[in-house]
Amino acid sequence: MTQRYLIALGSNVRHHRHGPPPAVLRAALAELVREGLAVERASPVIATAPLGPSRRRYANAVAILATDLPPDALLRRLKAVERRFGRRPGRRWAARVLDLDLVLWEGGAWSSPGLTVPHVAFRRRRFVLEPAAAIAPRWRDPLTGRTLRQLLGRQLLARCDTF
């Protein structure tokens, strides 16, 4: 049974073959297709400030994938693609050539060792919400019931309150 997922893509390190981070994200989407995953829709790439100790700006995007894989099998596939692009286990928040996160699943919530869907931090991450609301504004967070557009609006309002 085909299922749809929202994944987040990020890069802030140039790849020796694919080039700068925006090109890395485009190459990663092409690799996901070669892996047998249908990319139904992809957002434009946006440039964002880094979180944590990295000083390099990120290229970020999201995509909607369709596959017969359950969430944990999709995560394994995403991590294999990251490794092929040169991602190595290491420091959390460090610079990376490719980061692929499973954010939402149309099947609702999922929890297994090493995976929680929806992604635990996506509601606080404008670099995920902004491109996600652009391509899937009516997708709902299964835990809050809010749409991606509503979550982005709340995030933007929260930022305004801090000024």
pLDDT band at 22 (very low <50, low <70, confident <90, very high): very high
Position with higher pLDDT, 22 vs 56: 22
Arithmetic mean of pLDDT over the chain: 91
Nearest by Cα to 23 from 56, 52, 49, 61: 61
Percentage of residues in the chain having pLDDT higher than 70: 92
Lowest mean pLDDT among 32-41, 45-54, 76-85, 127-136: 45-54
Please check the confidence at residue 163 and state whether its pLDDT lies above 50: no
Please check the confidence at residue 54 and state whether its pLDDT lies above 90: no
Q: What is the mean pLDDT of residues 70-95?
A: 86
Q: Contact, 87 vs 97, CB < 8 A? A: yes
